[in-house]
Structure 1
Amino acid sequence: MRPAPLSLPAPAVGLDLGGTKIAAALVGPDGAVRARDVRPTPAAEGAEAVLDALAAAVAAVGPDARAVGVAAAGVVDPRTGTVTSATDSLPGWAGTPLGPALARRTGLPVACDNDVRAAAGPESAAAPGGRANLLYAAVGTGVGGAVAVDGRLLHGTDGLAGHLGHLPATEAAGLDCPCGATGHLEAVASGPGITALYRRLSGRTADRLQTVAARAADGEAAAVRAITTGARAAGGVLGGLANALGCDRVVVGGGVPGIGPLYRTALADAFGAALMPPLRRVRPRAPLFGADAAVLGAAALTATAPLHPPAGHPVPPLAHSSGASS
């Protein structure tokens, strides 16, 4: 039985914004999801169209909502409500004043943060006493992450803290990362990174990770090697970070771990091999809240992150904020 995900001062809408879809949920004060909406992200139409789609999703689920939380792809500074950096999956998204602009459209106060950090919030709160030393990784199209120390999620300069995919990995030496650098973990451990490595190893075509996983299940050596190389790279980086931060909880989510035990076992083995003796009891595990992690975490932002009110309106007292962590 999973723990109660969160408690809120008032009903809130949680929005999970990705490059291909927007998921919305109306979450009650008891943490229960009362209504849902899923719609495509009009990414190719630009930031204004994305903001309009977010507002439409709020309207679809949230007539009783008192606030909105957004878990958004990219680097997000929750203090200013601004997207400070973004990938090509959302063209023109960098620089968008997400919090203030969505507040104007919905008439509700809005809190926002990076999607992985938002998902990590309820995970950290579920620890005994809510004081986890948590390392949270999301491995999918990219590699994102979040870090909590003594229950406080770290944000860092411009919201950059926790971007695990841009740490160096030996297995990625010489490989181009989508951020423009070389040798970063994302270049070899993400779904596209593993797929590209498979193409180089095999000389065969493959346009998606699931194809590589199916060939690995059939025993193809190049597919097995590509998957285990990406998994070992992720496990080694996570193990090193766990040592550096003293983490007692390590969570690995995202779509890539779902391809099967070959990936998960290789990651866990590399993670364990990297750990210092006091941490060898720690094992990476799946997120407690599954597919709802991001929308629940987004809703939780309305109680923990700065709220950006509609122009000319104060933040209502039931949608209080305690401020973002450092």
Structure 2
Amino acid sequence: MTTAITVFDVGGTHIRQAWWLRGGELRTRTSRPSPSFKRFPGATVAELQDMMVRDLCDTVPETPDAVVGISFGAALDHHSGIVYASAPLWGEHSEPYDLRAALASRRPDVRWHIVNDVTAALLHAAAASSRSGHRKVLLATISSGIACRVIDQRQGRIPVDGCGLQGEIGHLPAVAELAGAPVALDCDCGKTGHLAAYASGPGIARLARVLEQREPGRWAASRLGLLTADGLGFEAALRRALDERDELARELLDAATAPVAAVLRTALCLDPEIDEAVLTGGVVHGLGHHYRRALMGHLTRQGLYLTSERTPDWLERRITVTGPGEADSLAGAGIAACAGVPA
């Protein structure tokens, strides 16, 4: 195996790239926009896929025994590497796509290793010395999409089902409420009422538009409304409004985190061997301690039956919000490639 591995983290918004050294160091990081359906609304999915393949292949140096690790933001078969769907990249499209074959066809000189981006982030997070004694670790990413994975640290294994999948929670049915009334929103995959429709980055923005429509007076008078009216981007405006303790911004974040709390509550109830639930992703990093406050508020008000009463800090000790770099899909792609993880 070569000493340095080219690694990519392909998400719905950006493609990140770096060199990964077998000792764990990442060097020469770069970032560029992903060829997604939102960036190229007139392109077909086949055209978007071709753009992706060309982008990845053309940026891999032509060196002997080149090895590439890819963290890919999609639901994929971890047995075969076949990509089933990627709502942030390709919208409603769900025809299976052999990404590895397409890459190998264009660059047969490269050894390609592909893992789901959440799997990659989990591999990096689970490798931390502080988690070496854990039985199981759950990692959930809240970004342009939402998914989670659980690894059994005792076996070094991420179990998958017959389709090679695990933890596609972003497309589980979910409910949300704003201004005292239910909300029904469409997910990027085309279905209504999925977790990602409310709790992903785009989902929170959609919730904000609903809140503005339902309570225009409150919105206009709020810090969040004033900041966005002044031209500040929504994500930055939400963070600043939360920093300034804007009540409407807190209400919005509470609505977005409620369905995430419901999934975590259920996971920890069903599998008490999960010693830590790690939250990562652009939304979590962008909102920082505000995100954890909102999430833990739900879990404090409604925790686990009996366990939360008898051991009030049981959930508190198991929920971790990471900072940038602590669960890095780029590093995880390198770990997977170095270990020869097949998918």
Q: TM-score, normalised by structure 2?
A: 0.75
What corresponds to 1:192 in structure 2? 202
1:49 lines up with 2:77 in the alignment: no
1:293 lines up with 2:323 in the alignment: no
Q: Which range is displaced more, 218-227 or 281-290?
A: 281-290
Cα distance, 1:144 vs. partner? 1.9
Cα distance, 1:70 vs. partner? 0.8
- Does structure 1 retain, via aligned residues, the 8 Å contact 2:175–2:193? yes
Q: Aligned partners of 2:133, 2:245: CA distance in 1, in Å?
A: 44
Q: Which of the residues 237, 241, 249 maps onto 1:223?
A: 249
Q: Give the aligned residue type for 1:274.
A: G
Q: Which range is displaced more, 234-243 or 31-40?
A: 31-40
What corresponds to 1:99 in structure 2? 100
1:274 lines up with 2:303 in the alignment: yes
The correspondence of residues 280-319 of structure 1 with structure 2, limited to 5 A, is 280=315, 282-287=317-322, 290=325, 293-307=328-342
- Does structure 2 retain, via aligned residues, the 8 Å contact 1:136–1:145? yes
What corresponds to 2:80 in structure 1? 80
Query: CA-to-partner distance for each residue in 1:202-261, whole Å, 9 max, x for gaps?
Result: 335767333334344445433221112212331232122122122101111112122243
What corresponds to 1:177 in structure 2? 187
- Does structure 1 retain, via aligned residues, the 8 Å contact 2:299–2:315? no
Query: CA-to-partner distance for each residue in 1:90-128, whole Å, 9 max, x for gaps?
Result: 366853311222233331211112111111112123355
What corresponds to 1:317 in structure 2? none
Q: Which of the residues 233, 236, 241 maps onto 1:210?
A: 236
Q: Aligned partners of 1:200, 1:84: CA distance in 2, in Å?
A: 31
1:265 lines up with 2:293 in the alignment: yes
What corresponds to 1:143 in structure 2? 146
- Does structure 2 retain, via aligned residues, the 8 Å contact 1:140–1:254? yes
Query: CA-to-partner distance for each residue in 1:29-58, whole Å, 9 max, x for gaps?
Result: 211124333333333342112111111232
Where do 5+ consecutive residues of structure 2 fail to align? 41-46, 217-224
Task: Quote the RMSD (CA, aligned, Å).
Answer: 3.0
CA 1:48/1:93 → structure 2, altered by over 3 Å: closer, same or farther? farther
Q: Give the aligned residue type for 2:194.
A: H
Q: Give the aligned residue type for 1:245.
A: D
Q: Which of the residues 5, 15, 24 maps onto 1:12?
A: 5
Cα distance, 1:78 vs. partner? 3.2
Q: Aligned partners of 1:131, 1:142: CA distance in 2, in Å?
A: 27
Cα distance, 1:65 vs. partner? 6.3
1:112 lines up with 2:141 in the alignment: no
Report SS of the residue matched to 2:15.
strand
CA 1:71/1:170 → structure 2, altered by over 3 Å: closer, same or farther? same
CA 1:9/1:245 → structure 2, altered by over 3 Å: closer, same or farther? farther
What corresponds to 1:123 in structure 2? 125
* Identity fraction in percent: 29
What corresponds to 2:220 in structure 1? none
Q: Aligned partners of 2:257, 2:135: CA distance in 1, in Å?
A: 25
- Does structure 1 retain, via aligned residues, the 8 Å contact 2:292–2:321? no
Q: Aligned partners of 1:17, 1:223: CA distance in 2, in Å?
A: 30
What corresponds to 1:312 in structure 2? none
Q: Aligned partners of 2:289, 2:340: CA distance in 1, in Å?
A: 36
Instruction: Tell me how many residue pairs correspond in the alignment.
Output: 299
Cα distance, 1:288 vs. partner? 6.9
- Does structure 1 retain, via aligned residues, the 8 Å contact 2:71–2:332? yes
Cα distance, 1:24 vs. partner? 1.4
Query: CA-to-partner distance for each residue in 1:252-287, whole Å, 9 max, x for gaps?
Result: 111212224332201123235424357435332233
- Does structure 2 retain, via aligned residues, the 8 Å contact 1:125–1:131? no
- Does structure 2 retain, via aligned residues, the 8 Å contact 1:82–1:96? yes
Where do 5+ consecutive residues of structure 1 fail to align? 1-7, 308-323
Q: Aligned partners of 1:120, 1:110: CA distance in 2, in Å?
A: 20
Q: TM-score, normalised by structure 1?
A: 0.79
Query: CA-to-partner distance for each residue in 1:160-199, whole Å, 9 max, x for gaps?
Result: 3111222333426643333343332222222222222222
- Does structure 2 retain, via aligned residues, the 8 Å contact 1:231–1:267? yes
What corresponds to 2:157 in structure 1? 152
CA 1:42/1:93 → structure 2, altered by over 3 Å: closer, same or farther? farther
Report SS of the residue matched to 2:23.
coil
Q: Give the aligned residue type for 2:173.
A: P
- Does structure 2 retain, via aligned residues, the 8 Å contact 1:215–1:223? yes
